[in-house]
């Protein structure tokens, strides 16, 4: 009985580690197409288990989370580009005066 209880108690931590590793993989591959085949392969979980675990721990579906991370990256890149554009005129003015 205690072995069964121990396995049940240790499984959530194992799933959290798997999801943390998967999220790092997603971030590293965010510029690539990511679908269910890649997610299930990387996580070692089937589609339904991954959906359930991701919703439990991340409070969103895997696909929603990927869209969120891509949106965050886009906003960061746009902010960096805007800062760069603002710096260009200042550097040009320094050269002309």
pLDDT tens track for 35-58: 999 999 999 999 999 999 999 999
Residue 8 pLDDT > 90: no
Q: Residue 29 contacts by C-beta under 8 Å, 6 or more apart in sequence?
A: 38
Mean pLDDT, the chain, whole residue set: 81
- Which of 5-14, 65-74, 77-86 is predicted least confidently? 5-14
pLDDT top residue among 94 and 43: 43
Q: How far apart are CA 39 and CA 61, in angstroms?
A: 12
Annotated domain spans of the chain = 2-96
Q: Residue 62 contacts by C-beta under 8 Å, 6 or more apart in sequence?
A: 39, 50, 51, 54
Q: What is the CATH number of domain 2-96?
A: 1.10.10.60
pLDDT tens track for 16-32: 899 999 999 999 999 99
* Residue burial 16-33, b: 16+ Cβ < 10 Å; e: rest: eebbeebbebbeeeeeee
């Amino acid at each position: 009985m205690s072995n069964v209880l121990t396995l049940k108690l240790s499984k959530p931590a194992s799933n959290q580690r798997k999801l943390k590793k998967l999220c790092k993989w997603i971030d590293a591959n965010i510029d690539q197409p990511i679908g269910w085949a890649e997610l299930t392969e990387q996580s070692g979980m089937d589609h339904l288990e991954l959906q359930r675990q991701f919703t439990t721990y991340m409070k969103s579906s895997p696909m929603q989370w990927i869209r969120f991370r891509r949106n965050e990256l886009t906003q960061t890149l746009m902010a960096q580009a805007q800062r760069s554009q603002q710096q260009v005129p200042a550097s040009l003015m320094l050269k002309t005066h």
